[in-house]
Structure 1
């Protein structure tokens, strides 16, 4: 009895079993964390990778190429192939908008890819997303000076920037477009049909 109390006190008490959902999440996290990252991509490697893993493989490879030089990131991306630029810019825009809307996309350094993403969506055949991004770029340009007033590095100002922001109405349109054209499927299709634009031999 005393021993049990001591073990419990020092954290040796038996931990509750994880649910199947938690076990599955741990498994996915471990697989992602231990994924193979290619510094060089050949056509043979790309053809051997499943569609489920293709986009992450391309992203990792581009990141290996450009590294952590954030100040020159845009210039480095502009040196890549048309396909790589389309992939990177649309991936970045999609992630930012899904996380915090178009306002977050432009508020963060990701906004530097606004024009490239517009062209990138056209490149992969996501015409509806291209049109929406064109509209978003236009609205942002018209409101850039006003929105810049909130860019003081604080979360409070960032939150305030959403109030009466004309970009907000585009977020719902973006989310609904996913039912009409899948960016992921179009990116994968483009990669498969333009393998040479993604090889880094």
Structure 2
């Protein structure tokens, strides 16, 4: 016969001494962090499912083609280039803002990201990207080489440009609101161009 009792909130089995000491509650329920634990499990399961999805497998292969083949980005089809450029834009801005996007090699594909956003119908996101470009480079074109871009960016100067930083922060915040639901638009784009099989489960 088990000496464990079910928690009266979550039904998780707990030893009798803990059951008595905590008025029938397991430690996570007593401490108020059971929901955080369950949310973490859900996120881990969602991530596990994503890694096995056609979308994730395609992305891994696409990144490999860009970085580990002789043809690189130029070897992608136009649809693949735009999908890649918009996806990288999204990842970089979420990770470190527009400053990181333009300062990293991702900024090499600015023109393709603009064209991709236009084709996706994400005109508000495109406007944010173009405004970030204006804040960093003014009316000059975006340099195609990373080193040249960094030399042109006020955020890489020895003296901080607080006005520029504040403008970029405001644009980052608006981007994070994701009013145009870029993930869904990218999935529809991938489906339209048959880049990978869309998982409908």
TM-score category (smaller protein)? 0.5 to 0.7
The match for 2:63 is 63
In 1, the alpha carbon distance for the partners of 2:176 and 2:57 equals 25
**Do structure 1's residue 125 and structure 2's residue 121 form an aligned pair?**
yes
Residues 94-123 of structure 1 show CA distances to partners (whole Å, capped at 9, x for unaligned) of 122122221121122222222221111112
Structure 2 residue aligned with 1:167: 168
1:24-173 equivalence runs, <5 A: 25-26=40-41, 28-29=43-44, 32=47, 53=53, 55-67=55-67, 69=68, 76-142=72-138, 145=151, 147=153, 150=156, 163-165=162-164, 166-173=167-174
Q: Secondary structure at the match of 2:163?
A: coil
- Is 1:189 aligned with 2:188? yes
Instruction: Provide TM-score, normalisation by structure 1.
Output: 0.60
* TM-score, normalised with respect to structure 2: 0.60
The alignment yields a C-alpha RMSD, in angstroms, of 3.6
Compared CA separation, residues 126 and 24, structure 1 to 2 (3 A): same
> How many residue pairs get matched?
157
1:77 offset after TM fit, Å? 1.8
Aligned partners of 2:173, 2:38: CA distance in 1, in Å? 33
**Equivalent residues of 1:86, 1:124 under 8 A apart:** no
Structure with more contact order per residue of length (Cα contacts < 8 Å, sep ≥ 6): 1
Q: Please report how far the alpha carbon of residue 146 of structure 1 lies from its aligned counterpart in structure 2 after TM superposition.
A: 5.4
Instruction: State the alpha-carbon separation in 2 of the partners of residues 114 and 170 from structure 1.
Output: 16
- Whether the 8 Å CA contact 2:50–2:56 is kept in 1: the answer is no
Distance 1:175 1:24 in 2: 22
* Structure-1 separation of matches of 2:58 and 2:80: 8
